[in-house]
């Protein structure tokens, strides 16, 4: 059952997402040919991780792993995709010690691409939420660059009150990689976090 679900969802994400929901893509030259790399993105819809995963597989030939909450990794449909993509499960939107160690291992030892939604959970209003610092701490620890990705019109595709997504195009912008130095103070990490949020996501 798991294998069949994984196969069906793969066909949907890779072969249909581009046609149904993926619109213009800018900045693909900012994505390195090899990892490790931490991809961050704004999160306003359930289709966000499906869109990003399908782009990385179809355009870059890479599997994009994710930090994902239990509601997603154990969802009757999404769990098939999470299993295939090797998603790292969070507990109540919080990174556990085991997931942290697995994240470090996948970046340093395997050179993976790992996607993190800094807001922690999808917005319920369409308004960008505050960014948490976990992705910056992981970048500083692992030495992996951070690639900010902005998704536009994704909230309109599948807002919380709708049972099913709309057939609308989402525009994607890949920004230049950001390097995070080791040993930054908490105040420096907070400032860098605020700068990234404001510069790449048009947040004040």
Q: Cα–Cα distances in Å, from 148 out to 63, 104, 115, 175, 179?
A: 17, 19, 10, 5, 11
Tell me, what's the pLDDT at 46? 81
Residues in the chain: 204
pLDDT at 8: 57
90-118: pLDDT as tens digits: 766 667 787 888 889 889 998 999 999 99
Inter-residue contact 158 to 165 (CB < 8 Å): yes
| Tally of structural domains, the chain | 1
Is 10 a residue whose pLDDT tops 80? no
Most confident of 120-124, 166-170, 174-178: 174-178
CATH of the domain at 103: 3.40.1130.10
For residue 94, what are the domain limits?
2-201
């Amino acid at each position: 059952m798991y294998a069949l679900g994984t196969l069906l969802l793969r066909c949907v994400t890779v072969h249909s997402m581009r046609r149904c929901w993926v619109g213009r893509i800018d900045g693909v030259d900012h994505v390195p040919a090899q990892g490790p790399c931490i991809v961050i993105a704004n999160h306003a819809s359930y289709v966000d991780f499906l869109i990003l995963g399908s782009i990385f597989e179809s355009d870059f030939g890479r599997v994009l792993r994710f930090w994902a909450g239990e509601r997603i990794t154990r969802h009757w449909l999404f769990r098939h995709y999470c299993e295939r993509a090797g998603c790292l499960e969070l507990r109540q939107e919080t990174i556990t010690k085991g997931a942290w160690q697995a994240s470090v291992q996948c970046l340093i030892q395997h050179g993976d691409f790992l996607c993190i939604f800094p807001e922690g959970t999808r917005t319920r209003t369409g308004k960008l939420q505050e960014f948490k610092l976990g992705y910056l701490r992981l970048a500083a620890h692992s030495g992996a660059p951070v690639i900010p990705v902005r998704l536009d019109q994704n909230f309109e595709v599948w807002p919380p009150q709708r049972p099913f997504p709309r057939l609308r195009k989402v525009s994607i912008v890949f920004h230049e990689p950001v390097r995070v130095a080791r040993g930054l103070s908490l105040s420096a990490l907070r400032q860098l976090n605020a700068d990234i949020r404001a510069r790449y996501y048009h947040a004040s």
